[in-house]
Structure formats: C-alpha cells, structure tokens
Amino acid sequence: MLGSSFWQHPLVETAGYFSVVVLCLIVSMILFEIVTKYKNWEEIKNGNLAVALATGGKILGVCNIFRYSIERHSTLLEMLGWGLFGFVLLIFAYLLFEFLTPRFKVDDEIAEDNRSVGFISFTISLGLSFVIGASIT
C-alpha cells in the first residue's frame, strides 16, 4: 500500500498535473475544432499559417490558464475546476471576437489564410488568458 507521502511527492504531483492538463488540452482542441468552421489540423498540414497562429494562440491560452490554476489551487480537483472555467471563458472570448467583427467573418478569414486575422486571434487568446488566469482564485 502506498503511503500518502507518495502522492504528495513533487514528482508525482507534477506528473499528475501534467497528465490532467494534457488531457484537458486535447479536449479543448477537440472543442475548438467543433467551434471553428475549418479543420484546424488539416489546414495546418496544408500550410495555413493563419490557422496555425490561431490554434497556437488557443494552445498557449489554455496552457496559461491552467498554469495560473495550478499555481493558485492546492488540490487537483480545484485546479481542474478553475482551469475548465477559464477555458470556457476563453471559448466565450473567441465567440465574442467573431461577434464584434461584423465586417468580416473571423473563421472565414482564418480559413483563407488571412495572417493578420490569425495573428489577432493569437494575441486575443494569449492576452485574455493572462486576464482570465489572474482572475481565477
């Protein structure tokens, strides 16, 4: 039988947090794939830099939110709950970005490799992840 000190060892805790966050990142990428009109990984494979930028911003954003959540919460369950809440806010921000740009469709522009829109999407995801991360307590 493993003692409680095993589960509290920094290497075990780190492996646990890492595993949970990687799983959450995979789930978040699947959800973003559903939310966007284009196929992220297919477009990236075809060299669409705008999609790569937008997807990279989402990955960095999700990881940054979980970074704050790990730093601020003492249990895996609390970290997971707040991290997922932050992720939901990040999806909301993405949908808001689409809504606040009525002159063009963000998804369509990114799918057409408009790198300027891809870069703005990147910075919105990353920038708001700092705000979301700082606010989850």
**pLDDT by 10-residue block (mean), the chain, 137 residues:** 68 89 93 89 96 97 94 88 92 88 92 96 96 90
Q: Are 82 and 69 in contact (CB under 8 A)?
A: yes
Which of 58, 50, 54 minimizes the C-alpha distance to 26? 58
Which of 80, 72, 73, 100 minimizes the C-alpha distance to 22? 80
Q: Are 69 and 86 in contact (CB under 8 A)?
A: yes
Quick count: other Cβ atoms within 10 Å of Cβ 5?
Answer: 8
Q: Are 12 and 76 in contact (CB under 8 A)?
A: no
Tokens of 112: 């057409």
Q: Residue 81, class by beta-carbon neighbours within 10 Å (0-12 exposed, 13-18 middle, 19+ buried)? A: middle
The pLDDT score that the predictor gives to residue 3 is 58
What's the pTM value of the predicted model, to 2 decimals? 0.87
d(CA 50, CA 70) in angstroms, rounded, equals 30
d(CA 103, CA 62) in angstroms, rounded, equals 28
Tokens of 133: 């991360």
